Amino acid sequence: QVQLVESGGGLVQPGGSLRLSCAASESIFGIGAMGWYRQAPGKQRELVAIITRGGNTNYADSVKGRFTISRDNAKNTVYLQMNSLNPADTAVYYCYAGRSGTPYWGKGTLVTVSS
């Protein structure tokens, strides 16, 4: 079972940046897609960004041009660089990994964008 631990969340002012990290308990080289979802208060969990084993990426329209997902297989870590943050980005961000049809989730890290 893959364990995922997120870090890097916190409070940031509008227009600011944060970088989230997701450390996996084992090599991610053999894991297929990894990504980030988020859930704002009172809303459903939604896809933010995803990256395949081969490095192909996909983003939610709301974050295109502002967020960048990347993975470092040597460090078993996936990153989410978030720039130009706005209050609508406030949410708990969850790391996701998919392997052989089984989804794995981290416990989440809170991102709050507020002045």
pLDDT bin (cut points 50, 70, 90) of residue 32 is: confident
* 8 A C-beta contact, residue 114 and residue 87: yes
Is residue 30 predicted with pLDDT exceeding 90? no
- Band (pLDDT 50/70/90 cuts) for residue 100 is confident
Report whether pLDDT(71) > 90: yes
Q: How many residues are there in the chain?
A: 115
Mean pLDDT of 11-25: 97
| Per-residue pLDDT at 3 | 94
Q: What is the pLDDT of residue 99?
A: 86
Provide CB contacts within 8 A for 40, sequence distance 6+.
Answer: 88, 90, 91
Q: Label residue 28 by pLDDT band (50, 70, 90).
A: confident
